[in-house]
Chain A
């Protein structure tokens, strides 16, 4: 049961273009939505995150758009560069016993930015 659904599975963008990755979630208790970037052979690195009290957050070329009513959030990468080629994961923390905030992950989007 996929609680965080991510699309597309793969994406090819030309240098300078806009990359858009979408995620939909089911659990309305989720209250924090991070995006992670992962290069081959490396651990995931936090890219940008948003809380549901705002509809948009921008950091440099990266923007998260959040639609609470639709239970969707998306990552926009402006002016995409070849160095952005990586796998991107959306995630949401699920609160369990002992205040565990384990992350529930999307399946990932493999982004390739052509020079």
Chain B
């Protein structure tokens, strides 16, 4: 299966700790997105990469959040000094970016619980 994969699937951490999530997009997809989803809500956009360039960051993304996509393939999302309000499902999606490539394919998500 060559779908979007995310690791870990679940993460429980204590407030104040740092966490890092990884996303592997569909191969050859040059666009990669991070979203956050809380219970009962739709996903909210966090940030967007085209190849290795981070082209947009949501105002939801505080200074404690940082994302990278160093080689234009996999991406990492790091949250520093986690807070209980960071508890959510973090979703990664990728798309091809070619003509008609609007479809974003999502990974299974990483569920973060901050105690």
* Chain A residues within 8 Å of B, Cβ to Cβ: 32, 34, 36, 41-46, 49, 89, 91, 93, 96-108
Docked complex Cα distance between A102 and B91 (Å): 13
Q: A98-B50, A99-B97, A106-B42 are in contact. Are A43 and B107 (CB under 8 A)?
A: yes
* Residue numbers in A under 8 Å from B35 (CB-CB): 103
Tell me the interface secondary structure of chain B in the complex.
strand
Closest residue on chain B to residue A90 by CB atoms: B42
Is B102's beta carbon under 8 Å from chain A? yes
Contact of A89 (CB < 8 Å), options: B4, B42, B45: B42
Residues from 1 to 44 in B contacting A, C-beta threshold 8 Å: 4, 6, 31, 33, 35, 40-44
Is B102 within 8 A of A93, CB to CB?
Answer: yes
Whether the pair B48, A34 counts as a contact (CB closer than 8 A) is: no
Write the residues of chain B forming the contact surface with A, with a CB cutoff of 8 angstroms.
4, 6, 31, 33, 35, 40-45, 48, 50, 53, 55-56, 91, 93, 95, 97, 102-109, 111
A100, B55: Cβ atoms closer than 8 Å: yes
Q: A102, B56: Cβ atoms under 8 Å?
A: yes
Q: Give the distance to chain B from A16, nearest Cβ to Cβ, in Å.
A: 28
Kindly identify which residue among B4, B95, B97, B109 contacts A42, using a CB–CB cutoff of 8 Å: B109
Report whether A45 and B102 are in contact in the complex, using a CB–CB cutoff of 8 Å.
no
Residues in A whose Cβ lies below 8 Å from that of B102: 32, 34, 49, 93, 101
